[in-house]
Structure 1
Amino acid sequence: MTPFEVHPGDVPTWPGITDAGRVVARFLAEVRVTGDEAAAHRLLAAEVPAHQVTSEEPTTVVRTPGEYAAHVRDMFATFGRFRYVVEEVLADGDRVYVRWRQEGRGLTEIGSAVYRVQDGRIAEYWIQLDRLGLLRQREAADGTLAE
């Protein structure tokens, strides 16, 4: 698949997109790159568990749509209005895998997530981020490289 940039409000599509994929595509364009709370309420379940690994420890953060939208707006503080490029998408039934890179203010974050869609909304997801790579970029920009 050819990577594509997600632009606010411009819902992407790809060959073989599934119903679950359409929900995730709308989420990416209407929430993930905008922080739009109204769209978050349309596309996310009332509470969405985000399963992740932090410092090698599995954790789950549960967010409401409003909290998720605020989380995206918090990312703007780090990245500014970032560029969000989808590198790969795979879908199987109610699950959609997305691998991306997010670029802004000289920083690049690489991540991937598997979204589970239920009743037309994202109900849960599993996410992996290259936090160490991002930390090293930030330290290099500050001139304080960690060992």
Structure 2
Amino acid sequence: MVAGQPHTWPEMPAAARVVTDFLANLRLTGDAVAARRLFADRVSAHQVVAETDETVVRRPEEYADHVADMVAANGPFQIQVEELLVEGDHVYVRWHQQGWTDPNAGVDAARRPLREAASAVYRVAEGRIQEYWIQIDRLGALRQLTDSTTSPQEKK
């Protein structure tokens, strides 16, 4: 997926259009205008962090800032959508995102490629994302960060 170019197909369900628009225009860039258009006033993000569940409630501008901070630290990244399923107002997306390690994170001073697997279910109502459930392979990312002798490409 390329920033600013959401996936579309004929007769694409409205909920899927919102989610692909979100991925291409907000998740990749932190675009605050896209955040106000695609997010409800308060969005609950149900996240799996390590072995615990956590719910974070964000306003559109807060989510845009969150992504902008991520892009500033790690540089631009890409998303490759592997699967997208729609059932009514719920959209399931499984993807890989690829970017760079943050040399300021304190784990490794080198800037190296970083690839993470993720999946999420988004609930869309009134043309906006209302809440979502997300899982990101943080352990796989941590292994890439802490293994300073082998690059992610060499492990394949």
> Is TM-score (shorter-chain normalized) higher than 0.5?
yes
Of 12, 15, 22, the residue aligned with 1:17 is 12
Partner amino acid, structure 2, of 1:83: Q
- Could you report, residue by residue, the CA deviation over 1:64-90 in whole angstroms, capped at 9, with x for unpaired residues? 101111111122144311111111000
Q: Which moved more, 1:74-83 or 1:45-54?
A: 74-83
Determine if contact 1:35/1:71 at 8 Å carries over to the other structure: yes
Matched, 1:95 2:109: no
Percent identical pairs in the alignment equals: 56
Change (3 A) 1:16 1:135: farther
CA contact (8 A) 2:83 2:95 kept: yes
Look up the match of 1:127: 134
Q: Which consecutive residues of structure 2, in runs of 5 or more, have no partner in the other structure?
A: 101-112, 151-156
| 3-state SS of 1:12 partner | coil
1:70 aligns with 2:65: yes
Q: Which of these two proteins has the greater Rg computed from alpha carbons?
A: 2
TM-score where L is the length of structure 2: 0.83
Q: 1:137 to 1:20 in 2, by over 3 A?
A: same
- Structure 1 residues 35 and 66 mapped into 2: Cα distance closer, same or farther (>3 Å)? same
Structure 2 contact 29–71 (Cα < 8 Å) conserved: no
Amino acid at match of 2:78: R
Which residue in 2 is equivalent to 1:3? none
1:16, 1:57 → 2: CA distance? 38
| Corresponding residue of 2:103 | none
- Once residues 27 and 45 of structure 1 are traced to their aligned partners in structure 2, the CA distance between those partners, rounded to angstroms, is 12
Q: Does 1:79 align with 2:74?
A: yes
Please show how residues 49-64 of structure 1 align to structure 2 within 5 Å: 49-64=44-59
Q: Secondary structure at the match of 2:91?
A: strand
SS of 1:99's equivalent in the other structure is strand
Counterpart amino acid of residue 19 in structure 2:
V
CA distance in 2, matches of 1:11, 1:128: 21
Letter in 2 for 1:54: V
Matched to 2:121, the amino acid is: V
TM value normalised by structure 1: 0.88
- In structure 1, the gaps of 5 or more residues are 1-5
Q: What is the RMSD of the two structures over their aligned residues, measured on CA atoms?
A: 1.6
> How many angstroms apart in 1 are the aligned matches of 2:149 and 2:42?
37
Q: Runs (4+) of structure 1 moved beyond 6 Å?
A: none
